[in-house]
Structure 1
Amino acid sequence: MRKGIIRPLAICIFQKGDSILVSEGIDPKTGNYFYRPVGGGIEYGERSSDAVIREVKEEIGADICHLKLLGTLENIFTYDGDLGHEIVQVYAADFIDSSYYNLSIFKGKEDNGIEFDVMWKPLSDFQKESRLVPEGLFELLKSKVSKLSS
């Protein structure tokens, strides 16, 4: 995270029943767990829709279709003791290879080669004990998650 920089991101919501696909993260400073959809940074000169397609392919090796913009969030947060600021384009999509919907948990990979867990988690979990990031995503999805496939 670079200080003083607002980072543009694109993330993708995949829906299976009442669950969404998320990766698990932990703040090294606080030890608090959080969950975030697959996605990442938008590169200079790249459209957010192209970024989300690229990021999903890079992180989990999947091709996607039926891309739909759900909304934009501004996220100001603290991670590892540092202040972060993001503008996040939130998309919904479907996997071309339907076998991803049959995996309960699998591995994704960051640009630096570090692996992370990717799992289906019921949206209702984020109403109680689990934290969904970026902030405001749960509220955005509450109104749209049943409509994602339409």
Structure 2
Amino acid sequence: MKTKTIRVIVLGLIVHHDRLFLSEGFDAVKQETFYRALGGGVEFGETCQAALQREFQEELQAELTNIRYLACLENLFTFMGEPGHELVQLYQCDFVDSYFYQNQPFTFIEGDNQCLARWVDIDQLKSNALRLVPEDCLAYLL
């Protein structure tokens, strides 16, 4: 039997011209596309801010600036038929390199999967035309 644990993750909200920089995911069990801010797990002995910077460096080779703590969110969810439980340390930040503000998709590798990150109109998230996870992140969008 697999032991269930609560995972601590860090996510970075990057807003630019009414758009939010997000990774695109797909749950094959639910047949549902969703969007999530980039970030990942916090390692033992690592601060949340250091984890945020490391994750963006690993995934996009991107440096962050103007990093500001927003909140801690509790996220209970089901992904690929399995229950999950996360404590999300949420930050607002910006890219150092203006290259990342271009309106193009960026691919990166996460584990064994090729992933896509792109700019998404905030209005599409607020209207639920596109699904943002965790949904509580919506409260922190201007």
TM-score by length of 2: 0.93
Gaps of 5+ in 1: 146-150
Partners of 2:135 and 2:44 in 1: how far apart?
Answer: 24
Q: How does 1:99-138 map to 2 (within 5 A)?
A: 99-110=99-110, 112-128=111-127, 129-138=129-138
Q: What amino acid maps onto 2:62 in structure 1?
A: A
What secondary structure is seen at the aligned counterpart in 1 of 2:131? coil
Q: Which has the larger strand fraction?
A: 2
Gaps of 5+ in 2: none
Q: How does 1:1-150 map to 2 (within 5 A)?
A: 3-110=3-110, 112-128=111-127, 129-141=129-141, 145=142
Structure 1 residues 79 and 3: alpha-carbon distance in aligned structure 2, compared to 1, 3 A threshold: farther
Partners of 1:108 and 1:70 in 2: how far apart?
Answer: 26
Q: What amino acid maps onto 2:6 in structure 1?
A: I
Percent of aligned pairs sharing the same letter: 35
| CA displacement at 1:77 relative to structure 2 | 0.4
| Residue-by-residue CA offset, 1:49-81 (whole Å, 9 max, x unaligned) | 110000011111101111101111100001111
Partners of 1:3 and 1:115 in 2: how far apart?
Answer: 27
| CA displacement at 1:28 relative to structure 2 | 1.7
What secondary structure is seen at the aligned counterpart in 2 of 1:38? strand
| CA displacement at 1:113 relative to structure 2 | 4.2
Q: What amino acid maps onto 2:92 in structure 1?
A: A
What secondary structure is seen at the aligned counterpart in 2 of 1:126? helix
Say if 1:3 and 1:84, in contact at 8 Å, map to a contact too: no
Say if 1:48 and 1:89, in contact at 8 Å, map to a contact too: yes
Q: How many aligned residue pairs are there?
A: 140
Q: Which runs of 4+ in 1 moved over 4 A?
A: none
Partners of 1:91 and 1:9 in 2: how far apart?
Answer: 11
RMSD: 1.3
